[in-house]
Amino acid sequence: MSERKISVASRRSSIQGDGPPGVVLQTGMSSQDDTESGTYSSVRMARPSMANIAAFRKFSRKTSVAGFGRPILKIKPKLENTYKMAPDTNIRFNSTRVEKMLDDILNSMLDDKRYDPKTASSLAASIAETAKHRSKLMGFERHKFVTHVAIGNIYDQGASITSRCLWDSRNDNFASAYYRNASLYAVATVYAIYFE
């Protein structure tokens, strides 16, 4: 196992040190080139505040029960952004799969329903939540989902539902499904917006 010292960021910009002595990060990789081997080349850790240190010391004095050692103060490293500007090909939003999922949801939740203006809004909200939850389970990482469901009554009239979005046409996408029975219609849309 190789050992590396962690540089701890100071509160004052004029102090740049290696941090307290004895702070060591152990990695299980060999000390080859950092970019190829996957070892941590620079890990920035926040220095604990004085209140945290005082609380830690107070807590450690109170733990004198046999069998319990002193608690370990762990500091999570801050990870840097990856600056990925496009999704990987295996996790790109697949509108065909999502449209099939939306069809299944609409068919199962609206199969025997009649239009009721009192329950239509809560039914649309539950369909939207179900669609958003199942879209997240499909494994499209780094995507934010917006779901929109419209339910209306059929009175031999025409209806047009449109939407406008400001997005990146290469990475963002949407899927939409339509359902109709004797008394109601429903249009469900899931928008997938890629984010870094």
pLDDT above 50: residue 23: no
Residues 50, 60: Cα–Cα separation, whole Å: 15
- Given the DSSP bridges, would you call strands 143-153 and 184-194 parallel, antiparallel or unpaired? antiparallel
Neighbours of 175 (CB within 10 A): 21
Most confident of 12-26, 35-49, 66-80: 66-80
> Which of 152, 118, 150, 147 is CA-nearest to residue 135?
147
pLDDT above 90: residue 178: yes
Residue type present at position 5:
K
> Which of 143, 144, 104 is CA-nearest to residue 127?
104
Give the pLDDT confidence of 74-127 residue by residue, as tens digits.
Answer: 787 887 877 888 888 778 899 999 999 999 999 999 998 999 999 999 999 999
Measured in whole angstroms, the distance separating CA 31 from the mean position of its chain's CA atoms is 33
